[in-house]
Amino acid sequence: MAVVGYGRVSSAGQSLDVQVEQLKAVPCDRIFTETRSGTSTEGRAALEEMMRYVREGDVLVVTRLDRLARSLTDLSRIIDELGAKGVGFRCLQQGAVDTTKPEGRLMLQLLGSVAEFETAIRKDRQMEGIAKAKAAGKYRGRPQSIQREQIEALEAEGLGPTAIAKRLGIGRSSVYRVRGADKSIMTKTA
C-alpha cells in the first residue's frame, strides 16, 4: 500500500510549494505535480501518470478537491476510476471526504459542486471585466505576433508556406491564416 500525493496549480506564476509541503507531511510515498488548468482533465500528464501508477490498496491524497478537478463531472469520473481500482481517496483540507462512506461521498459531491460553481463565477467575472475594458478602449486582446509584412517579404524571396513557417518558428497553418483570403499567392509547398 502506498500513499500517493497529487498537487496542481493553474499557471506558472503560482507555486506548488505549499501543496508539496503538506503532502510530504502526510507523508506521501510519491507525489505527482503539474502546472495546468483544472477545468479539464485534457493534457494533464501528471494526472494521467498518477492514475496509471496507483494500485489497489493505495490512497490518493490531495490538499483540496479543486486541485484534483474543478468540474463535478471530472471529479466524479476520477473518483469512480480510483474506486474501481480499489484506491482510497483523502482530501487534507476537506477532511469529511471519505469515499468509503455514504456521507463522505455526499460531501464529495457537494464540495465538487461548489468548486464547479466557483469556476463559473470566476469566468463570468473575467468576461465582465473584459467587456468593461473593451468599452473603455483599454482592451485590445493579445497583440499580433505574426506580421503580414514578414510573410510577404519571405514570399518575395521565393519561400513557400512550409519554409516561411520554419523560418519564423510558427505553424504552417498560421502562415495560411495570416494570408487569409489571398491564398493564390501561397502555391509553393516548400
Any idea which residues carry the catalytic annotation? Answer: 10
Looking at residue 42, the DSSP 8-state letter turns out to be: T
C-alpha cell at 154: 519571405
What CA dihedral angle connects 72, 73, 79 and 82, to 10 degrees?
-160
Closest to 104 measured CA to CA, from 78, 84, 79, 85: 79
By three-state DSSP, how is residue 140 classified? coil
Alpha-carbon span 58 to 88, nearest angstrom: 6
By three-state DSSP, how is residue 62 classified? strand
